[in-house]
Amino acid sequence: MLKYIVRRLLILPAVLFVVTLVLFVLFLQVPAEQRVRVYLPSVRPRMTPEETERLIQATIERYGLDRPLWVQYREWVTNLVKGDWGYSPSWREPVLEGLLRRVPATLELTMFALVPALLLAVGLGRIAARRRGAVPDHMVRSAAFLGWAFPPFILALVLINVAYARTGWFPPGRMSIWASPIVNGDGFQAFTGLLTVDALLNGQPRIFWDALRHLVLPATCLALAEWALLTRVMRASLLDVQGHEYITTARAKGLSEVQVVNRHAMRNALLPLISTAGVTPPLLITGVAVVEVVFNFNGVGRWAVDGFLSTEIPVTVGFALASCVVTVLSSLLADLLYAVVDPRVRLY
């Protein structure tokens, strides 16, 4: 297992090299003045044109933007490693700082969406496969079809109008107005950045329940399409596995259907589910951007959309790079889980 992990980790640098190279090539398509502004800390409104021109020239010389392309690429990657991802004029902060400050909120939202979606997909996919052709199977398949076909932004608008505008139960945003002074005060320690976890660690149950109420609608909206896809994969995988000879042999030995599924079918049926879950982060990233904007959730997705609308190249490049890294790491995690479930993979 250790050798397999090492082999997979050795692939990471090559993948990240290709990712940064592609981003750099796309970055070169941006006009020169826009590329220079990636590195500008800020341009004060009262600066004269001459002062602005001198600042631009100094920035070009500092970052080697007038040098050969391979030198520019080397300097750009070096700056990325050092944490210099550019500057966001509208947010008045470095891109990496703004990104890292919003990651916990998006991570919390994703966890509350993905974990229930996986658990429900395994449970309902198993029920649908065992009751193939029966009413439960038709109900699960219909719900999964609707969940996959429903556009996230339409679902978000429906949920916010039904569950908040009419009832007021699940408000948008990340926390209520009354909770903000407590969370941002000196007495509240941000141990993890996850508001629900930090609220419990600080002994603030009211903050916990308030944060949970704000997570219900965006997490539900984000989880629906993921659940629908994984449920269909789980059902199809279980049906495929049940036709194999070792399942027939297990039944011939007198094992109950529950024992056959739990001991023999589930382990192999989980393999396609793991593979699918490992390649869904791009879908989640797209969904997060839509959901956070609709529900006014201050996370990475909303930050990126604001950057796109403001035509801020540093934010766009930073979000694209972070998304690629998340996708690569999730694929690596899926490969490792695949090897745990199926030891044969470790031989390759």
Above 80 in pLDDT, residue 311? no
pTM value is 0.84
CB-count exposure of residue 224 (10 Å: 0-12, 13-18, 19+): buried
Q: Is the pLDDT higher at 306 or at 60?
A: 306
Domain ranges of the chain: 103-303
> In the prediction, which pLDDT does 302 show?
92
Instruction: Give the count of beta carbons closer than 10 Å to the beta carbon of residue 225.
Output: 24
Above 70 in pLDDT, residue 1? no
Alpha helices (H) in the chain, listed in sequence order: 2-28, 32-37, 49-63, 69-82, 95-130, 135-149, 152-159, 180-183, 195-201, 205-241, 245-252, 257-260, 266-278, 281-294, 300-309, 313-341
Phi, psi of 28 (to 5 degrees): -70, -20
Above 60 in pLDDT, residue 42? no
Question: Which residue, chain included where needed, has tokens 């839509």?
Answer: 290
Please report which confidence band the pLDDT of residue 199 belongs to, taking 50, 70 and 90 as the band edges: very high
> In the prediction, which pLDDT does 16 show?
85
Q: Tens of pLDDT along 218-268?
A: 999 999 988 999 999 999 998 888 878 888 888 888 887 778 887 778 888
Above 70 in pLDDT, residue 46? no
> In the prediction, which pLDDT does 140 show?
93
Please report which confidence band the pLDDT of residue 32 belongs to, taking 50, 70 and 90 as the band edges: low
Please report which confidence band the pLDDT of residue 326 belongs to, taking 50, 70 and 90 as the band edges: confident
For domain 103-303, give the CATH number.
1.10.3720.10
Q: Is the pLDDT higher at 271 or at 257?
A: 271
C-beta separation of 35 from 27 below 8 A: yes
Mean pLDDT of the region 17-32 = 79
Above 80 in pLDDT, residue 3? no
Instruction: Tell me the DSSP string of 304-345.
Output: HHHHHHTT-HHHHHHHHHHHHHHHHHHHHHHHHHHHHH-GGG
Phi, psi of 194 (to 5 degrees): -85, 115
Q: Is the pLDDT higher at 46 or at 339?
A: 339
Mean pLDDT of the region 286-298 = 89
> In the prediction, which pLDDT does 38 show?
63
Please report which confidence band the pLDDT of residue 41 belongs to, taking 50, 70 and 90 as the band edges: low
> In the prediction, which pLDDT does 186 show?
85
Above 90 in pLDDT, residue 74? no
Nearest to 329 by CA among 12, 21, 63: 12
Please report which confidence band the pLDDT of residue 116 belongs to, taking 50, 70 and 90 as the band edges: very high
Q: Tens of pLDDT along 124-174?
A: 998 998 888 899 999 999 999 988 888 888 888 888 888 887 777 888 889
> In the prediction, which pLDDT does 112 show?
93
